[in-house]
Every structure is written in C-alpha cells, then in structure tokens.
Structure 1
Amino acid sequence: MSAASALTTKQLQQKLSSEKKSEHPVLLLFEIPSTRVVENQLSKYVVYEVVVMLSGSFDSSRVSVERRYSDFLRLQRLLLEEFDSTLEDVSPPPKLLSGNFCAAVLLQRRLALQDYLAKLFSTRCVRHSPLFAAFFTDAEQRGALVLLRGGQFSLALRQLEDVLALQEKLQCWQSPALRLPTLCALAVCHCDLQQHQEALDAAQRALPVARRCGLRSHRAALLRLLMDLSYRLGLPGARLQDELQGLQDQPPTLKYDPPTLKELVIQQFT
C-alpha cells in the first residue's frame, strides 16, 4: 500500500490544502466597493467602504470598515514619518478643491484609493508595520472600548468580533500581540454577559499570546479569569493555579493587588 493510499480522506485534504498554500502564498486584497456622503450642519464629506480579503483561499468572512479621505492622508503622514524615502513613489490621490461629490469623481477616487492600499501592502516594511494594521482596526477597537466602558457589552462584542476578523487577516504580517487586546476585551464582554463558555474560549486563545510576548500582567489576569471560569463550568483548574503561582514567584514580584483583565483592557486605550 502506498503512503498516499494509507492517508485518510481528511488527512489527504489537509495535505493538498497545505501544498496549495505553499504554492500560492496568501496575500491581502483590498476593495472599495461603495461610498456614502455624510452631511450635517457643519460639514459634508465622503465615507469609503474598505473591504479586506484574503487571496489564495475562500474567504468567507467579509469584513469592512469605513474611512474618510482624511484617514488615508493621516496614514500616509504617519508612514512617511516612519519610513520616509521608502514611500516616495506611493501616495494617495491628491486632494480635490471641487467636484468631490460627483459620481464620476467618486468612482475614480475609489479605484485610486484601492490601488494605494495595494501598493502599500506590496511594500514589505509597510505591511509589517503596526501603523498599517491600525488603519483598519484602531477606530473600531476604540469605539468598542467606549461601548464596553459604558456597559453596552453586546454592542461592544459585535464590534470586537469584526475587529478580530480583520486582525486575523492581517496576522501573517504582524506581531502575535496584535490580537491580544481584542481577545481580552472579548473575554471581558462575554463575562459581563454571563456567557462563560465563550469567555473561556476567548481567554484560552489570548493566554498563549500573552505567554509568547512575555506580558506578565496580562498572563496573570488571564490565568485568574480562567481559574474562575473553570470553577463555574466545572472544569479542572489545578494547572492554571500552578502556572499562576509560578508566575507570582518569579522576580520581580507581581503586585499584591494586580489589575483585573477588565482594568488592563481599559488601560490599553487610555
């Protein structure tokens, strides 16, 4: 019997999928399919819907954010401060003095901004920069934190899930710590909504990241939360207790009254 025939169907599918991914590296694709005009007493401006997709595989999670032209300009300014001459040939379309709301102009600008994001991603230093990831997630993450602090946990949860979906698309080119604040915030929201299993799942995903990045305060807070959730769900927690004790025994000694996970989440953006 050959090695291939000895594989189960599932193993064979996984092998073929792995080979396919190695032949076709995953890339990010950007689409700006629509715009909307926002008008109030003080101003009138255009908002662009930005969709982020993964290439090379079926991307079932369609996640989009809305950004103004000024957001693209701010991103360019921050990147120029960081990388200077590397981006001398990459820039967003120029600012217009008139005709901003004309349908033909909006179409042209949508395509130009789409091309701008693609060029940024093709620049290695940019796609690995936290500034690039923050462009797609920071506003929504901060908005979710405002909701969380206001006790609107269900609304915060929905927003955080979208943020996490975007971060998972970006994670191949970013620090492992990128998702940690979001996972911690998700765990906090689920806890406050008494969704203990979902809180456990989020905290379990966050803990390895905290370990890998050497974030002791987050690691300790996650361990304490996981111990509490394990008790509530009737799960064993001795290994969590041992890990927390070992962490507390390491110099420098952790504070006697260390911050909770919710406090750490709130501190992250204040």
Structure 2
Amino acid sequence: MTTRELQLYWQKEKYDGKPVRLLFQIHSTRIAEDFLSKFVLYKIVIIKTGSFDGKKVFIERRYSDFERLHRNLLKDFKDEMEDVVFPKKILMGNLTEEIIRKRMVALKDYLGELYAIRSVRKSCQFVAFFIESELEEGYSCIRGGQYKKARETLEQVLYLQEKLVEHCPIMMVLTLCALVVCHKDMDQLESAYETGMKALELLQKLPRHRYYNPLLETLISLAYKLGKDFLSLREKFEHGENRKTRSSFEGEMITLKELVVKERVPTD
C-alpha cells in the first residue's frame, strides 16, 4: 500500500468506530429584499460526523421557512416536540446585528433539537425543509432546457439526501434519474450511465417502480453506445417481473425524460 492508501485506510478505521450523526450550523446571513419588505436569509450547512464529510452544501432559508416547518411538524409530532423551543417572531428590529446573531444560534439549536427526535428527523416534512426549494428549481430548469443549471442544483439536492435519507435511500432515485437526463442531454454519457446504475441498484428489489423500466431502457442505450455490457440489462428488461407493469404514455412506453419532465409539474 502507498502512503496515501495507508492514510485513507487508517482514517476509515478511525471513523468506522464512531456513530454517524448530523450537525447543523448557520455560518452566515444576508439581507434580501422582495417587493414587500426586507428579510434575513440564513446560510445553513449540514455536517456528517463520525465519517469524513467532504461534501459541504449550503442552503439558504428565511425565518418564515423555519416557521412553516414548525407548524407542519406540530400537526404530526405535537407530543414529541413538547420540549422543543422555537424562536419567537420579532415584529420590530429583527434586522439588527444583535437580533440576527441571537436568532442564528437559536435556529441552529432548533434544528439540532428536531434532529434529536427520531420520528421527526425521518419525516417527510423535516427532509423537505432542506431540499424542496432546490428540487423545484432543478425540475423547473429541466423543463426549460437549462440542463447545466439543473444538474448543478440537483447534485446539491443529492448531497443533502445522502445525509438526510439514509433511513430510506429509495428517496434518492428520482433525483438520480433527473441527473441521468441532465447528463444525457449534455452528452455526458459516461456520467449518465454511472448515475443511472446507482439508481438501478436502489431499484433492484422494486421492479414494479414506475421508474424501473424507463431507467433500464435508458441504461441499455447508454451501455450500447459506451461499449459496456448492455445484454445483461436487456435481459433484466425482457425477462423481469416488470414486463406486465410497463407505464404507458399516449399508447407507448414512457421514456425516462418524459417521466422526469412531468415530475413535480405545478398544478393550478
């Protein structure tokens, strides 16, 4: 083993014995403005402890986003959150440095308290707080043909999901498939194939999932173009349990891109 390989080995050994948990930090703030008023955006980073975490993704949320999260969680977890302290709303002077500094600490502690409650940290509401805005932006960019921007945004979402949904990794499938579409339309075929194989691995035991067939079709095409093993993928497609559950779109098999483009379409 090289010196670098030894360092990585001992680093892995060191972290394998430590419990993995998440820490929430609010690194900084900035004041933004819309047509009605000024407001503070809090820059949040999630750090994974107990293992090397080289993927630090920042998101920005305003106080009203935290407030909405709190209301939504109370609907399902009122008893569990009995001792959780949510920082009170301040009507006047909420843009002063002192108030912003105190609120940064209070909101950081609030996220930590929520994460400490097992049922809350595994809830859709908690996870959505960290990724919903970025998901909407990513899918909107795909529908607008802005694949580079969509890829960058969805990669951030995926990094966050890798930390937040370890209890349910299947939740990453849609993001991975959207990234496959981005890579493919940008002619990044190797990246599209690798990303698609990650999604397929998560779907192995779910052949009836609506993304399974379209993903397999895309991977077969990519594997053929890249000179990889497409025959085993074709066999999965032709002989798997999924034969009877193919999704249809205007009488034809729906493609992965069609599925992704139709995902999260705003409804009136």
TM-score between both structures, scaled by the size of structure 1: 0.89
2:132 alignment counterpart = 138
Q: Cα distance 1:44–1:218, how it changes in 2: closer, same or farther (>3 A)?
A: same
Match of 2:26 among 15, 22, 32: 32
Say whether 1:209 aligns with 2:202.
yes
| Post-superposition CA distance 1:221-261 (Å, at most 9, x none) | 11100011111112221111110012366445654622211
1:157-182 CA distances to partner (integer Å, 9 max, x unpaired)?
1111111111112232x312121111
| Distance change (3 Å), C-alpha of 1:98 and 1:29 | same
Q: Please name the residue that 2:191 is paired with.
A: 198
Identity level (%): 40
Gaps of 5+ in 2: none
Pairwise CA distance, 1:127? 1.4
Q: Is the counterpart of residue 267 in structure 1 residue 262 in structure 2?
A: yes
The one-letter amino acid paired with 2:261 is I
2:74 maps to amino acid: L
Task: Tell me how far apart the structure 1 counterparts of residues 260 and 75 of structure 2 sit (CA, whole Å).
Answer: 28
Q: Which sections of structure 1, spanning at least 5 residues, go unmatched?
A: 1-6
1:172-251 alignment, distance < 5 Å: 172=166, 174-247=167-240, 250-251=243-244
1:1-270 residue pairs with structure 2 within 5 A? 19-172=13-166, 174-247=167-240, 250-252=243-245, 255=248, 257-270=252-265
Structure 1 counterpart SS, 2:205: helix
- CA offsets 1:86-139 (integer angstroms, 9 cap, x no match): 111114201011111000000000000000000011111111112211111111
Alignment RMSD (CA, Å): 2.3
Quick check: 2:180–2:193 contact (8 Å CA) kept in 1? yes
1:196 maps to amino acid: L
Contact 2:142 2:150 in 1 (8 A): yes
Check conservation: 1:76, 1:91, Cα contact below 8 A: no
With normalisation by structure 2, the TM-score equals 0.90
Structure 2 Cα separation of the partners of residues 245 and 97 of structure 1: 63
**Secondary structure at 2:45's aligned position in 1?**
strand
**1:233 & 1:19 partners in 2: Cα distance?**
36
Q: How many residues align?
A: 263
Between structures 1 and 2, the one with greater helix share? 1
